[in-house]
Amino acid sequence: MRRLMRRMRRWFRPRGGPAILMYHRIAMPEVDPWGLAVPPERFAEQLEILRKHRTILSMESFVGRLQSGDLPCDALALKFDDGYIDNLLRAKPILEAVGVPATVFVTTGLIGSDEEFWWDQLARMILLRKEAIATTLTLDKDCLQIELPPIDPELEPRPGWRAWEEPVTAREDAYKRIWSALWDRAPESRKAALVQLSQVFGGTQSRPEDLPMGVEDVPRLVSDWISVGAHSRFHRPLVSLPPAARLEEMVRSREEAEALSASPVTGFAYPHGASNPETEDMARRAGYRWACTVNEQTIDQRRVGLHSLPRISVGHWSGEALLAKLRTIRG
């Protein structure tokens, strides 16, 4: 009977649990194929709802209580990936106004750049260009044919389209193909490809709020509510790198994040969430107390490793919808 009761408790226990929420941008870009942006008003609404119904902790407190075995079942921690300037200009004031902590993971080799993150550059060139295009993109020894008809203003751009969905238009298909060809390339190869594309598609007029933070912005970001983590140097999937280069990327990213923020950096977020046991062990050796993947799960306190913490990506949802989503996810 006791065994049956234990099984029934497992079967019918409430869903949800402790979770780490992943944000990227607090903004409203023209196109957002990876669903990275949450508008400021929506973000403020989400925080108000979460603050009323969940226990929100800093990442350091979250990890500490996970280690000690007393992490509340309703605990949440918030993190931002990449290091967009809007994290400072828009997210920070909202977080501090409601008293919610967060950690911003910066891509240290791109801090201070006067160009958009490459995936945003690509989206603006491909999805917003109106004219027909026929060209060949050369990537190292590979060639990628691109043929696009004139944009159909009745169909595109589709602001709600996401890159994990089936493409409907030729531009959406081209974006997915080119993104897939670029995501694991070396920075210099990726840069050369974007230069080629800009010569064909024309340069894109980015807004200042679409850029990474400047070197002087990172220390301004740090406060009693905001801490900084590392997110690699150039946002390449680490599992695609040789072991020595992988370890160096993590070590240098931590050192650079500490220099930029003038504060200790103990957490790491794997670019694109790509990790494996070898990479997780390297994160430990690189001096990180904990590291995050992007598995859409809550925290299973019995099994989770500190260097493979799952995160839940947050979209342009109402606060109530976000709360409902958290109730449906299980570790």
Do 102 and 167 lie in one domain? The reply is no
Look up the CATH number of the domain holding residue 74: 3.20.20.370
In a domain, 93, yes or no: yes
Do 216 and 323 lie in one domain? The reply is yes
In a domain, 150, yes or no: yes
Q: What is the mean pLDDT of residues 4-32?
A: 73
In a domain, 2, yes or no: no
- Give the model's confidence band at 155: pLDDT under 50 very low, under 70 low, under 90 confident, else very high: confident
pLDDT surpassing 50 at residue 9: no
Report pLDDT for 4. Answer: 42
pTM of the model: 0.92
Q: Given 175, 205, 235, which residue is the final one in a domain?
A: 205
In a domain, 19, yes or no: yes
Q: In the chain, what percentage of residues exceed pLDDT 70?
A: 94
Where are the strands (E) in 6-151, listed by range?
A: 19-23, 25-26, 37-38, 55-56, 75-82, 102-106, 133-139, 142-148
Q: Given 168, 188, 205, which residue is the final one in a domain?
A: 205
pLDDT in tens, 90-109: 999 999 999 999 999 999 99
Question: Distance from first CA to last CA of the chain, Å, rounded?
Answer: 27
Do 242 and 191 lie in one domain? The reply is no
Report pLDDT for 140. Answer: 83
In a domain, 185, yes or no: yes
The number of domains in the chain is 2
Do 239 and 132 lie in one domain? The reply is no
Do 225 and 107 lie in one domain? The reply is yes
In a domain, 101, yes or no: yes
Do 31 and 80 lie in one domain? The reply is yes
Within a 10 A sphere around the Cβ of 35, how many other Cβ atoms?
17
Q: Using a CB cutoff of 8 Å and minimum separation of 24, what contacts does 249-253 make?
A: 250/282, 250/283, 250/286, 250/288, 251/286, 251/287, 252/108, 253/108, 253/109
DSSP string for residues in 203-251: -----GGGSBPPTTHHHHH-SSSEEEEE--SS---GGGS-HHHHHHHHH
pLDDT in tens, 269-284: 999 999 999 999 999 9
In a domain, 35, yes or no: yes
Per the structure, the complete domain to which residue 289 belongs is given by 14-114+211-328
Do 159 and 29 lie in one domain? The reply is no
Query: What CA–CA distance (Å, rounded) separates 33 from 129?
Result: 15
Report the run of H or E that residue 252 belongs to, with start and end: helix 243-261
- Give the model's confidence band at 7: pLDDT under 50 very low, under 70 low, under 90 confident, else very high: very low
Residue indicated by tokens 């920070």: 92
Do 323 and 238 lie in one domain? The reply is yes
Do 24 and 85 lie in one domain? The reply is yes
- Mark 296-306 as b/e (b = at least 16 C-beta within 10 Å): ebbbebeebeb
Q: What is the mean pLDDT of residues 51-75?
A: 96
Q: How many helices (H) and strands (E) does the chain have?
A: 12, 12
Within a 10 A sphere around the Cβ of 321, how many other Cβ atoms?
13
Report pLDDT for 13. Answer: 41
Strand partners of residue 20: 77
pLDDT surpassing 50 at residue 66: yes
In a domain, 9, yes or no: no
Q: Given 188, 205, 222, which residue is the final one in a domain?
A: 205
Do 198 and 234 lie in one domain? The reply is no
pLDDT surpassing 80 at residue 11: no
Do 219 and 301 lie in one domain? The reply is yes
DSSP structural state of residue 274: -
Do 197 and 318 lie in one domain? The reply is no
Q: What are the φ/ψ torsions at residue 255 (nearest 5 degrees)?
A: -60, -40
